[in-house]
Structure 1
Amino acid sequence: MQYRDCHPASKVNMQVQDLLERYQNGERNFAQIDLSSANLSGVNLRDADLTGANLTGANLSWAFLSRANLTGACLRRADLRSASLNNAVLNQTILSGANLGKADLRMAQLEAADLSWAVLQEADLSGANLQAAKLDQVNLERAKLSNSCLAAAELMEANLRRANLTSATLDRANLREAHLEEANLREASLIGANLIEANLNGVYLRQANLTEADLHRVVLTGADMSEAILTNADLSRSNLAGAYLLKASMSKAQLLRANLQDVYLLRADLNGANLRGADLRRADLSGAYLSDTSLSEADLSDAYLLESHLIRTNLDGAQMTGCCIANWHLENTDCSRINCRYVFTGFDYTTKSPADRYPVGRDLEAGELERHYQQDNAVVEVYLTEPPNWEALAFTLAQLDLEENALGLTIKAYKPSDDNYLIQLKATRPVNAKALTRRIFQVYPKILQQLLTHRTEILSLLAIAPQTKQSDVALEPASQVNRAAPEVPSHDRRIRLYQEVVRQIQHIMMNQAPDQFVQSVQQLLDYLNHQGIATEAIQKKVISQVITQRAKQDKSFCDHIQRWEKTAPDVARSSAVGQAMRFAIAQMWADTKQN
């Protein structure tokens, strides 16, 4: 950017007293005035036209310059501390080295202005236009820049520590080596921004848009980037240790050799991302989507892949010893070249720790993990507390087959015992066993109830009728033929059934969003009511206890239930579960206010 000389001979040299008298008399046009080094502290020059003025080194601290026009003016090294410049026009103004600490620049126009080395500490630039402004090495620590426009601005080595940049626009801005520690960039737009080697330690980037941003070797330790958009962003060799990236969109992002130790990537979209050689030790990728993702040579030791989706994922040379892979979804993924001594195939939600070491008491043999999942990743185990109704189960499997695009579920084994009844189901392709089991428990009780109610019509539609004459085939005793009729469970079985449903409700409510678990829990309550088992205690105590427990463990859950309270349909709110939830929420808020 080319700037003209701040000391043209044509400028009028005027004494401060003359300026103030003319302003007092209603004059506002002071274009090209020369007041370099003048003492104008606290003066009132609102709405004044100071276009092209020379105010180099002037003292304008506490001055009132609201709506003033300072286009092209020179304020190099000027003292503007606590000055009022809201709605002022400072386009192409030279403010390099100026002190604007705590200045009011709300809605100011600073397009293409030169603020290099300026001090704007704690200044208020909310809604200001700084497009294409030059801000190299500027001090904006704790400044207010919410809703400001910094598109294409030069901010190399700028100090933006703890600055508020909420919803700011920084598209294509140059923030190379900038300091943004603990800055608030929630919902900010940084599309195509240059953040190479910037320090964003502890930054708040929730829901920010960093599409195609260059974050090469950036420091993001402990940053909150939940729900941020990082599509096609370059985070190669960056340090994201301990960062929060819950539900972040990182499709096709470059994370080559990035440090992702202890990072939270729950339900993150990493489809097509390049994580080759990345350090993911102890990272939590539960529920993450890793379709066509490269994890070759990555270190996933002690990482969490609960219910993660690995489809055509490249795991060549990946380190996975101690990885928790409970209910992961593996499809067209080669595990034969993984470096791994053992994994955990389960997770204890009570202790929040991996469970079920595989193999037990020894290390994996070469290719054993590959063989294990070739055989078993299509097997689903369902535990029932009552003997299964095979007709209802058959219709349940038919329903799931329609929903999941030809799963081809068949019964592999049935193992009854005194306490439960294990049914092993086999699919024709890999499945998410946990999700499928949850769906079975949603569908099976509903179909069972419908079957018991409409069994006669169903048999009639299938042209199935009882035999009226002696057959060559021995018929079962009448007591066996009529087993489909509902029976009142014994006292012991009623207790076991009640306890099992309570466990299922607790698990569902601890792992699903409110708009999901309301329907699931209601179906389980309806099932208990159909069995003649009272559910008042569950509605009054269990649901309230689970909501309170989850709210303590997961701070974001409070936002979810508050959102549900405002947006839930009347049907959900008026249901037994909905009423119990609303009572629990009201009680929780009341307890919070008391504390």
Structure 2
Amino acid sequence: MEIQEFLNRYKQGERDFTDVDLSGAILTGINLQDINLTGANLTGANLSWSFFNRAQLANACLRQADLRHVTFTNANLSQAILSGVKLTKADLRFANLSNSDLNWAVLEQADLTSANLQDAKLDQSNLEQAKLVQTQLMRAELMEANLRRSQLINANLNAANLREAHLELADLRDASLIGTNLTEANLNGVCLRNADLSEADLHRVILTGADLSDACLNSADLSRANLAGSYLLKTSFRKAYLLRANLEDVLMLRADLSEANLRGSNLKRADLSGAYLTDTTLTETDLTDALLLESSLIRVNLDRSQMTGCCIYNWQLEDVDLSQIDCEYVFTQFNYSTKSPTDRYPIGRNLTPGELAQQYREENSYIKINFKELPNWEALIFAIAKMEQDFPNLKLTIKSFESVAGTYLLKLTCNRPVNSKNLRSRLAEIYNDMLQQLQVKRSKILSLLNIIQVKIEQPIPAEIPVTPTPKPAPLNEESLNLYREVVQQIEVIIMSQPPEKLIESIQRLLNFLNVKGISTEAIQKQVISQAIVRRAKQESTFQKQLLQWEKTAAPATRLSPVGAAIKSAIAIL
């Protein structure tokens, strides 16, 4: 059709030009909005600066056409042939380009905001600095495409093929790339904050200096990928493959690497502070000078990994074997003001093979619990029993109890290495729950255990008097049981309280037995001193407390029956 005829018919109101042949036509700067050019032949046509708002161009052929600065807002270009076209700075907002052929097309600085490019072919196309915000690119072919500095914020690239594509400095915040093929693509300096790359193929991808904070890469394949210097704050790599990946100098603070495979990866100087690693494979990895501050490593495989110079301040290990690592020294503290590790261990020498593993086993075979006040031993024992019930493979034993700087320190030994921080927190929760339950059910519990509750109604004065001992009476079965119960309670008191407090507690029990007509002579001469000696041999701190008590105790206290028993124990020691 002649160009003039075509334009005249359009001016007269005609809009349907289906299958028209306008190949090579020059139609620059013309307004052709709402036109129907379905199936039209526009090969080699010059349509630059023209307006095709809401135009119908489905199945049209625009191969090699000049479409610079053209406006295709809300136009339908589905299945159109646009290979090799020039669409520099074109306006394609909300346009439908699904299944279209845009191979080798030039779309520099084009605006494709909210456009539909599902299943489109864009191999080797030029989309540098293009705006693709919220664009639909599902299953699109973008092999070797140029997307440098393009805006793909919230774009949908699920299952798209971006093999060997160039995305340097592109903005892909909140983008969806589930199952996307990015093999050997260049994403240097790209922003992928909060993007979803689950199950994406990133084999040999370049992500140096990229920002993937809060991104999801679960089950993604990043084998041999280069992520040196990238930002991976709170990034999720659950079940991801990072075999022989380059992760030098990355920031992986609070990243989730559960079940990830990082075999042979380079993690030199990587910051894994607060990272969560459960069932993670780190065999043959290089963690030289890495930061593992407050990281959680549970069932992590570190065989043949390099860990010299790691900072392990407050890291949490559980079921981790350190016997096969290669490590000369570690740092145990971190200076946050200078942002550097401190306190080299060991000082002046290197670790011997297996030494760090041995220390770990010793340190993680027990937990320490601080109490501001004396613990309720009944609640504590029930709490330990509940812990062992919740964790059938765990066995806890009370190792020691001592007063330290106005607080009370309890040490529990474990039958295997544990995450002491988590276990301590869990035990504290159970202990508080047991305290509440005991307030309501203590009488019933003691009754079930056939234990008689001792009730002392008269208060004990500060200066503890010795209650006159009535003439001993033959012990019947009830008195014998009561005597045994008091002896047990005295031994618990001695094993848990400092000298200045246990005297008053024990004297109350002795007075109680005297009132009942039960002799306490054997307790005063043997039970008390033997229990004190036993505890003193176990705890050096308690020995020091005894010597301090002997120097500072009031005369009346030292001369009391319990005080005399303590002095007798000190003499034995």
Given that 1:328 and 1:432 are in contact with CA atoms closer than 8 Å, whether structure 2 keeps it comes out as: no
Stretch moving more, 151-160 or 245-254: 245-254
Give secondary structure in 2 for the equivalent of 1:33.
Answer: coil
Question: What SS does the aligned partner of 2:331 have?
Answer: strand
Taking only aligned residues, the RMSD between alpha carbons, in angstroms, comes to 3.2
2:292 to 292, 298, 305: 305
Give the match for residue 281 of structure 2.
294
- Residue 159 of structure 1, aligned match among 134, 146, 151: 146
* Inter-CA distance 276–97: structure 2 relative to 1 (3 Å threshold): same
- Whichever residue aligns with residue 14 of structure 2, its letter is E
Instruction: Note if 1:28 corresponds to 2:15.
Output: yes
Q: Quick one: which of 159, 184, 197 aligns to 1:197?
A: 184
CA contact (8 A) 1:132 1:153 kept: yes
In structure 2, relative to structure 1, the CA distance for the partners of 1:280 and 1:37 (3 Å cut) is same
Letter in 2 for 1:76: R
Q: In the aligned structure 1, how far is the partner of 2:329 from the partner of 2:241?
A: 29
* 1:246 aligned partner, one-letter code: L
Residue in 2 aligned with 1:105? 92
Give 5+ residue unaligned stretches, structure 2: 457-478, 491-501, 509-573
8 Å Cα contact 2:218/2:239 also seen in 1: yes
Contact 2:144/2:165 (8 A) holds in 1: yes
1:280 deviation in Å? 0.4
Determine whether 1:178 maps to 2:178: no
* 1:56 lines up with 2:43 in the alignment: yes
State the AA in 2 paired with 1:62. W
Determine the C-alpha separation between the residues in 2 that align with 1:481 and 1:187: 68
Secondary structure of the structure 1 residue equivalent to 2:505 = helix
1:445-497 residue CA offsets vs partner (Å, 9 max, x unmatched):
676677679877776676440179784766868842699xxxxxxxxxxxxxx
Q: 1:251-279: per-residue Cα shift (whole Å, max 9, x none)? A: 33222221101223344343443322211
Distance in 1 between the 2:333 and 2:284 partners? 25
From 2, 10, 14, the equivalent of 2:2 is 14
Report the secondary structure of 1:209's partner residue.
coil
Alignment of 1:173-322 (within 5 A): 173-322=160-309
Give the 5 Å matches for 1:303-382: 303-347=290-334, 353-382=340-369
Structure 1: distance between partners of 2:137 and 2:405: 69
What's the secondary structure of 2:399's corresponding residue? strand
Cα distance 1:382–1:431, how it changes in 2: closer, same or farther (>3 A)? same
Cα distance in 1 for partners of 2:140, 2:210 equals 23
Which of 67, 79, 100 is equivalent to 1:92? Answer: 79
For 1:341 and 1:384, how far apart are their aligned partners in 2? 37
User: What displacement does 1:385 show?
Assistant: 4.6
Q: Please state whether the residue corresponding to 1:34 is helix, strand or coil.
A: coil
Is the 2:316–2:421 contact (alpha carbons within 8 Å) kept by the matching residues of 1?
no
- 8 Å Cα contact 2:319-2:417 kept in structure 1: no
- Structure 2 letter corresponding to 1:200: L
Match of 1:466 in 2: 454
Q: Distance in 1 between matches of 2:116 and 2:431?
A: 60
Say whether residues 1:480 and 2:505 are aligned partners: yes
Q: What SS is found at the alignment partner of 1:372?
A: helix
- Aligned equivalent of 2:122: 135
Q: TM-score, normalised by structure 1?
A: 0.70
The answer to which of 251-260 and 203-212 deviates more is 203-212
Q: Distance in 2 between matches of 1:331 and 1:275?
A: 19
Larger Rg: 2
Check conservation: 2:318, 2:419, Cα contact below 8 A.
no
Given the superposition, is the C-alpha separation of residues 401 and 351 from structure 1 closer, same or farther in structure 2, using an over 3 Å criterion? farther
Bigger shift: residues 445-454 or 217-226:
445-454
Work out the CA distance in 2 between the residues paired with 1:79 and 1:464: 100
Kept after mapping to 2: 8 A contact 1:307/1:432? no
Bigger mean CA offset, 206-215 vs 343-352? 343-352
| Aligned residue in 2 for 1:144 | 131
- Structure 1 CA distance for aligned equivalents of residues 428 and 348 of structure 2: 34
Compute the TM-score of the two structures, normalised by the length of structure 2: 0.73
1:434 partnered with 2:427: no
Contact kept in structure 2, 1:327 and 1:432, CA below 8 Å: no
